[in-house]
């Protein structure tokens, strides 16, 4: 008998894998606050659980991109929408990042893959490139680097909130302000808005 993986347990498992990428099935069950028996009724292997979670994470990432309407200016508003939507199910965003950096399929493989290109990173790069062409984002930095910088900043904010280092309330605005204006003590300039 198999049971469906509900959203709450899927989120808990995604967070458990992102925090313990080498954990076995029993350790993941414990970290997610469930029993190995319950997890076993959902899927009998760790690799199967990873596969289910990867599908959920992909769906979350695609939905966030779709709901952000990145093709719809102004670019700054689109970036804010993306940040907010990614944070709605932040545990899947963390899982996605873990999967992009580490081979989760084999608990014995400790190789770090590095920042792997994906539909998400490609969409970000395209977004920043269009924003550069419209004069919204600086052109002295490659669009790929802007995409990575945004992605890493978002990850750092979510991970910091999980550790209790920052409040999660207002996190999307904090990420956007830091990305767009940096850490300068000077008053942040108004961000230009483009209609192109």
Is 99 among the domain residues?
yes
Cis geometry, peptide bond prior to residue 125 (ω within 30 degrees of 0): no
In whole angstroms, how far apart are CA 51 and each of 13, 42, 67, 111, 178? Answer: 12, 12, 24, 19, 34
pLDDT at 185: 79
Among 51-55, 68-72, 98-102, 138-142, the minimum mean pLDDT is found in 98-102
Q: Is the pLDDT of residue 55 over 50?
A: yes
**pTM across the whole model:** 0.84
Give the pLDDT confidence of 148-183 residue by residue, as tens digits: 999 999 999 999 998 999 988 889 999 999 999 988
Give the pLDDT confidence of 1-35 residue by residue, as tens digits: 456 788 899 999 999 999 998 899 999 999 999 99
Is 19 among the domain residues?
no
Give the burial class of 13: count Cβ atoms within 10 A of its Cβ; 0-12 exposed, 13-18 middle, 19 or more buried: buried
Please report which confidence band the pLDDT of residue 90 belongs to, taking 50, 70 and 90 as the band edges.
Answer: very high
Among 83-92, 95-104, 143-152, the minimum mean pLDDT is found in 95-104
CA angle 131, 133, 137 (to 5 degrees): 40
Nearest to 81 by CA among 102, 100, 61, 65: 65
DSSP per-residue codes, 72-123? SS-HHHHHHHHHHHHHHTHHHHHHHHHHHHB-TT-TT---B--S---HHHHH
Which residue range forms the structural domain that includes residue 78? 55-181
Is 47 among the domain residues?
no
Please report which confidence band the pLDDT of residue 115 belongs to, taking 50, 70 and 90 as the band edges.
Answer: low
In whole angstroms, how far apart are CA 152 and each of 18, 60, 147, 157? Answer: 15, 18, 9, 9
Is 30 among the domain residues?
no
Distance CA(133)–CA(188), nearest Å, equals 22
Nearest to 22 by CA among 53, 50, 2, 59: 50
Cβ atoms of residues 22 and 110 within 8 Å: yes
Is 152 among the domain residues?
yes
Is 41 among the domain residues?
no
pLDDT at 99: 87
Is 48 among the domain residues?
no
Beta carbons within 8 Å of 12's beta carbon, 6+ residues apart: 31, 32, 33, 34, 91
Is 193 among the domain residues?
no
Structural domain total, the chain: 1
């Amino acid at each position: 008998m198999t049971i469906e993986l509900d959203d709450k347990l899927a989120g808990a498992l995604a967070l458990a894998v992102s925090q313990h990428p080498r954990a076995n099935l029993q350790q993941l069950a414990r970290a997610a606050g469930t029993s190995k028996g319950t997890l076993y009724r959902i899927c009998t292997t760790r690799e199967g659980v990873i596969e289910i979670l990867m599908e959920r994470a992909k769906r979350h990432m695609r939905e966030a991109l779709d709901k952000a309407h990145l093709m719809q200016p102004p670019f700054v508003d689109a970036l804010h929408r993306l940040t907010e939507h990614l944070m709605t199910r932040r545990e899947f965003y963390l899982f996605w990042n873990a999967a992009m950096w580490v081979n989760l399929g084999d608990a014995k493989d400790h190789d770090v893959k590095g920042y792997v290109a994906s539909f998400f990173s490609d969409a970000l790069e395209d977004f920043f490139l269009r924003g550069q062409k419209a004069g919204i984002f600086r052109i002295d930095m490659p669009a790929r680097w802007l995409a990575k910088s945004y992605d890493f900043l978002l990850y750092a904010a979510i991970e910091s909130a999980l550790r209790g280092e920052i409040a999660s309330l207002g996190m999307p605005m904090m990420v956007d302000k830091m990305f767009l204006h940096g850490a300068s003590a000077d008053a942040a300039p108004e961000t230009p808005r483009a209609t192109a």
